Amino acid sequence: MTRTVKQDRAVRTRAALIRAGAEVFGECGFAGASVTKIADRAGLTLGAVYFHFKSKEELARLIVAEQPKLVVPPQPSQGLQHAVDVTLTWAYQLLDDPVLIAGARLVMDQDQFVPPEENSHQQWTQILLKDFQVAERRRELRAGADIQAIARLIVSTCTGAQMHAYMESGRADLPHRVEEMWQVLLPGIAVPSAAKKLEFGEDRGRGR
């Protein structure tokens, strides 16, 4: 077997374990998941799991860390529109992406496997903060807007929105809740001319 074939097999095995882990974490939570359940779901041996991941903590940590990389808006944008697009893309993908669903389930258990400075709240806050820095330079925000506080508020609101959406609609109305959040917040943080130019809807989250 050539090195390339071995590498390809390793990549496929790792991907299968990440997906299986995401499905098990999404269904059972961190405490209810086990390496055995993940191996069984992937159709692999325990040895295969431990070859790629030392523990379920390491796999859970990877799933949380990889969340932002999966959320790529389908249309190019900058500043305030990009912040809107990121949250909408996240909301639409969370409807059926097993890795994002696992991240949503693991959000309350992060203290068991992720250092505080690396948790998903911090990750998403930093992503939105960069968008608001661009928005500030583009003069899309009201004078004196506290962009760090706004970024934290949006992350907290989205986190709460997905929890309530899960309980009340199986997350089916999460995109609507995210749009609703923006419609409430925008008058207080954006200049009217910038707010009027923003686009919403499924096109911004799923693409055409």
Judgement on whether residues 113 and 131 belong to the same structural domain of the protein: yes
Instruction: Please tell me whether the overall predicted TM-score, pTM, comes out greater than 0.85 for this model.
Output: yes
CA distance 119 to 110: 7
Quote the domain boundaries for residue 138. 66-205
Judgement on whether residues 155 and 166 belong to the same structural domain of the protein: yes
- Coil/strand/helix, residue 190: strand
Judgement on whether residues 29 and 72 belong to the same structural domain of the protein: no
Judgement on whether residues 104 and 185 belong to the same structural domain of the protein: yes
Judgement on whether residues 120 and 75 belong to the same structural domain of the protein: yes
Q: Which H helix or E strand runs over 18?
A: helix 3-32
Judgement on whether residues 20 and 103 belong to the same structural domain of the protein: no
Bridge partners for 141 per DSSP: 190
Number of structural domains, the chain? 2
* pLDDT one digit per residue (tens) for the chain, 208 residues: 556 877 888 889 999 999 999 999 999 999 999 999 999 999 999 999 999 999 999 999 999 988 899 999 999 999 999 999 999 999 999 999 999 999 889 988 888 888 877 788 999 999 999 999 999 999 999 999 999 999 999 999 999 999 999 999 999 999 999 999 999 999 999 999 999 999 999 999 997 6
Domain closes at, from 40, 65, 90: 65
